[in-house]
Structure 1
Amino acid sequence: MKDVKTKKNTDKLLILLKNPKVLALLFLFIILAIKLAIINYPAPEKPPSECISNFDGCGFVFDEAHYIPAVRKLLMGEASNNEHPPLSKFLIMLGIKIFGDNPLGWRFFSALSGSISVALLLLISYRLTRKIELALATALIYIGDVMTFNLTSIAMLDAPALMFLLLGVLLILSKRRVLGSISLGLSMLCKTSSAFGVAAIVIVDAFNSALKQEQPRKRIEKGLNTAAFSVIISAVVFISGLAVYDYAYGAFPSPFDHLDFILDYHSSLSYRCVENFAYLYCVHKDNPYSEEGVIIDLPLRWTIPINTFAPSPYYVTEVTIDGYSYKPIAYYGIYSPIWWLTWIILIITTPGALNFFLYMFLSRRLAVDEKRLIDLFLFIWICLNYFVYFPIGYLLHRWVYTFYFIQTVPAIALALPHSLWDDRFGKLILIMIVGVQLWWLFMWFPVKSELHVSILKSLGLPA
């Protein structure tokens, strides 16, 4: 009887875990628990009053050195960091109000946003494929991306921006266009580069809505109307958010002046390279902080395994005991192996996307299957969130950074299970990719316990 009861309970649990919403919540709480366990590392050694201009000992990771001082000024009623939209900074402010001016306060809402993003991506994958196994694989691949994990664990703009962007995608895929468009506007209100992701989902939604029309001319009209509807709502949310900020802080006469300032500021961030190495990277000499110059890793270098970019030490501490050195806290800006699969994914998805375009504009009768729609979605997402940086970096000579790729990572995580699940060999490759991704995160995990260090040490790996 006991064995029968145990089997029934196990079966109930398995059925429960096959519910995508339950699985998404489970992932949310697990990832949030992991992020909260490391949230106080690093911690400041100095009080906030001593962390205004010199940031040594302040416990800031990477661009926290920009945003936390800016938030402190905002808390005092002073407009600051106007080159970026305010919503992510307001969330950091809220964290400080709730938990205090400490690492938990700084990073809580980034950690929460990053955890929610995992759950949202799982639900997006299930919405597209209707297979819980693919949704699970997508979530695990996404979790294993070190750059994404690190940047969504610290007080930066990216985690809330990604969360609202993915929420917008899920809502629009669920036919809730108004709410989805509002969420897309909130994403841009966190970080302006979200506009590339917004453009991708608006275009895909426009194509999807146009499918219902029989004639090519009517399809174009329907698609344009759908896109205009979403763009207007997103723009109103974005402009309204800037207006509230400008009114509250007296920053600009109007939100349009503020937007003009944002665009002018980012347009001015150009580099001048004296050395260029095979379009992979170049050396910017005109830098007051380095006589040797600064290496600019150009977009092509982000996604190729040959001569790839070096891990960037965002915050690293090193300890040596009995001749063995290890890094208990090591936040690196580093790729994960799935970045190198970007070009393969493009090769796989391009035929389906092009086929969709041909049907859309040339055929009177549409016979577009679900796979082509997913191919189109992934193709446009990658093009507008990754390839957009090629003209920006190579032609306009604007500063580009490797962490910009994290807005493309969700598409890669979605594409791999979608592309590999059809046959047994593909499933085996997918399982290997998931395993490699999770092992990669284990090796590069930003905060390591003694047990973690001892495991890596026993395997002869750097810790």
Structure 2
Amino acid sequence: MTSAPGRLLRDSLSRLSNYRNLMYLLLFSAVIRFVWLDKPRNTLIFDEYYYVNAARVILGVPQSSSGGKIPYPNAVPGIDPNPEHPPLAKLIVAFSIWLLGDNPYGWRLPSIIFGTLTVLFFYLIVENFNDRKLATLATLMLSLENLIFVHGRLATLDISSLAFMLLSFHLYLSGKALLSGLSLALATLCKETGLYGLLVLVGYECFKSLKREQLKRLKLGLKKSRNLEITILSYGLFLLVILFALDVFYGSFNNPLDHLSYICSYASQLTRPEGPVGIESYPWQWLLNEVQISYLKVDVNIIVDGRVLGSRTTIEFMGAMNPFIIFSTIPAMAYMLNDWRRGRSGFSSFILSWFTFTYLPYYPLAILLHRIMYIFYFLPTVPCVCAATAYTLSEGAPRSVVAGFLIAVIVGFASLFPFKQIP
């Protein structure tokens, strides 16, 4: 007879064995984010200039300059100088700097953690609807997606917001509505686009209801709707209460409604009626991977006998999607739409809602309001593209096709990998 501790150990090892592929993917995701994290040495990359310096102001330490200018010349120490975005992500970076020092590891460790957690939560979401094989395939694609990778190692707001959003989705699908609302509030407190996550959950219930035909499914839908009500109410409550607390200590607003009003007012002014210029883009261009952004580029001269013969790029961080993943968006979503119309799975309802409410809102914003936008706004949509593509491939595609696609994805990831040589 096996002892109780023996059975417990055996069961634990069995569960770990079931998630072996996930652990490999998490290890891979963490390592590629951490490697050469301090390169180029002591250099802020892209919007880190704003958010790391905002964290420095909160801590009361000197800002770094670019072109002889600092981003917040009139900032009050201890107060978030970047109120056009919610404060949570910047406070997390500030805590990391306080803990590890004002260096690249202090700036970027939170993003490594959130980037790796994004991979974990995404796996759990896909597994909730499907088997581990499909979850592994989709998560492998996400791990090899450049935009997710780059923002998962830079001190920007997007990856922390995405991680909390995915956690909220997982909690909601697991029936934990109250915690789902809390996590979604934290996503919004990192970056205001976390609100789209709430629309995804509302849309999910709507997509399911449109295909509901049997009484049993109707009762299940009503139960889920009660979960949705709890999620919405808890989201609003946690958002206001936590934002109020953060503003009391680190903000300059008397109440959270004033702060939210300021965020909306500021965003409404980011318009360009004549159309995008420079690195700005239209949302439909993102599906073609157009108007990519060079976040940072380091070139070195090729010198022979004292003469400069040319230059080569040694480091380049690109704001761009893995081409083989982004170009699969339209056929994969078309397949999901057909799957939903045939009423085959709740997975298609969730993915279609995810795509609809994290991406399509940018169309009226661009067409009617002329909102300024950038390619990295597609970041919250990238995971659902990976999920839809993996699902499409799993529905009868020959193994050779799946293998060929994965090889192409690996090539796409390698071509965009920021380090062109070992630093």
Letter in 2 for 1:311: Q
Q: 1:282-361 residue pairs with structure 2 within 5 A?
A: 282-284=275-277, 294=278, 296-304=280-288, 308-321=289-302, 323=309, 325-337=311-323, 338-356=325-343
Q: Hey, what does 1:365 align to over in structure 2?
A: none
Structure 1 residues 409 and 167 mapped into 2: Cα distance closer, same or farther (>3 Å)? same
SS of equivalent residue, structure 1 residue 330: strand
Q: Hey, what does 1:92 align to over in structure 2?
A: 93
Letter in 1 for 2:334: I
Identity of aligned residues (%): 28
Q: 1:378-417 residue pairs with structure 2 within 5 A?
A: 378-417=351-390
After the TM superposition, which parts of structure 1 deviate over 4 Å for at least 4 consecutive aligned residues? 14-18, 205-213, 215-224
SS of equivalent residue, structure 2 residue 327: helix
Distance apart, 1:224 and its partner CA:
4.8
Q: Counterparts of 2:171 and 2:123 in 1: how far apart (Å)?
A: 13
Q: Counterparts of 1:350 and 1:384 in 2: how far apart (Å)?
A: 15
Q: Hey, what does 2:112 align to over in structure 1?
A: 111
Distance apart, 1:197 and its partner CA:
2.3
The reply to whether residue 444 of structure 1 matches residue 401 of structure 2 is no
SS of equivalent residue, structure 1 residue 203: helix
Q: Counterparts of 2:380 and 2:390 in 1: how far apart (Å)?
A: 18
Q: 1:108-187 residue pairs with structure 2 within 5 A?
A: 108-130=109-131, 132-187=132-187
Question: Which whole-Å deviations, capped at 9, do the CAs of 1:169-202 have from their partners, x for residues lacking one?
Answer: 1122222222222111111111111211232024
Q: Hey, what does 2:402 align to over in structure 1?
A: 430
Structure 1 residues 200 and 298 mapped into 2: Cα distance closer, same or farther (>3 Å)? same
Structure 1 residues 123 and 283 mapped into 2: Cα distance closer, same or farther (>3 Å)? closer
Does the 8 A contact of 2:55 with 2:80 survive in 1? Answer: no
Does the 8 A contact of 2:45 with 2:154 survive in 1? Answer: yes
Structure 1 residues 226 and 99 mapped into 2: Cα distance closer, same or farther (>3 Å)? same
Structure 1 residues 33 and 171 mapped into 2: Cα distance closer, same or farther (>3 Å)? same
Distance apart, 1:271 and its partner CA:
0.7
List runs of 5+ in structure 1 lacking aligned partners. 1-11, 45-58, 274-281, 285-293, 357-370, 452-463
Distance apart, 1:345 and its partner CA:
1.8
Q: Counterparts of 1:309 and 1:207 in 2: how far apart (Å)?
A: 31
Distance apart, 1:315 and its partner CA:
0.6
Q: Hey, what does 1:54 align to over in structure 2?
A: none
Q: Counterparts of 1:221 and 1:343 in 2: how far apart (Å)?
A: 32
Q: Hey, what does 1:101 align to over in structure 2?
A: 102
Distance apart, 1:25 and its partner CA:
3.4
Letter in 2 for 1:70: A
Q: Counterparts of 1:241 and 1:394 in 2: how far apart (Å)?
A: 34
Q: Hey, what does 2:28 align to over in structure 1?
A: 30
Question: Which whole-Å deviations, capped at 9, do the CAs of 1:321-349 have from their partners, x for residues lacking one?
Answer: 35464322211111222112211122111
Q: Hey, what does 1:56 align to over in structure 2?
A: none
Distance apart, 1:221 and its partner CA:
6.0
SS of equivalent residue, structure 2 residue 297: strand
Does the 8 A contact of 1:117 with 1:162 survive in 2? Answer: yes
Q: Counterparts of 1:390 and 1:194 in 2: how far apart (Å)?
A: 18
Between 1:218-227 and 1:104-113, the stretch displaced more is 218-227
Does the 8 A contact of 1:17 with 1:23 survive in 2? Answer: no
Does the 8 A contact of 1:416 with 1:430 survive in 2? Answer: no
Letter in 1 for 2:82: N
Q: Counterparts of 1:433 and 1:142 in 2: how far apart (Å)?
A: 13
SS of equivalent residue, structure 1 residue 408: helix
Equivalent position to 1:42, from 40, 53, 61: 40
Distance apart, 1:394 and its partner CA:
1.5
Does the 8 A contact of 1:41 with 1:447 survive in 2? Answer: no
Letter in 2 for 1:187: A
SS of equivalent residue, structure 2 residue 317: strand
Equivalent position to 2:346, from 373, 378, 387: 373
TM-score, with normalisation over the residues of structure 1? 0.77
Distance apart, 1:204 and its partner CA:
1.9
Letter in 1 for 2:23: L
TM-score, with normalisation over the residues of structure 2? 0.84
Does the 8 A contact of 2:181 with 2:231 survive in 1? Answer: yes
SS of equivalent residue, structure 1 residue 297: coil
Q: Hey, what does 1:249 align to over in structure 2?
A: 250
Letter in 1 for 2:372: W
Aligned length: 388
The reply to whether residue 80 of structure 1 matches residue 53 of structure 2 is no
List runs of 5+ in structure 2 lacking aligned partners. 1-10, 61-77, 304-308
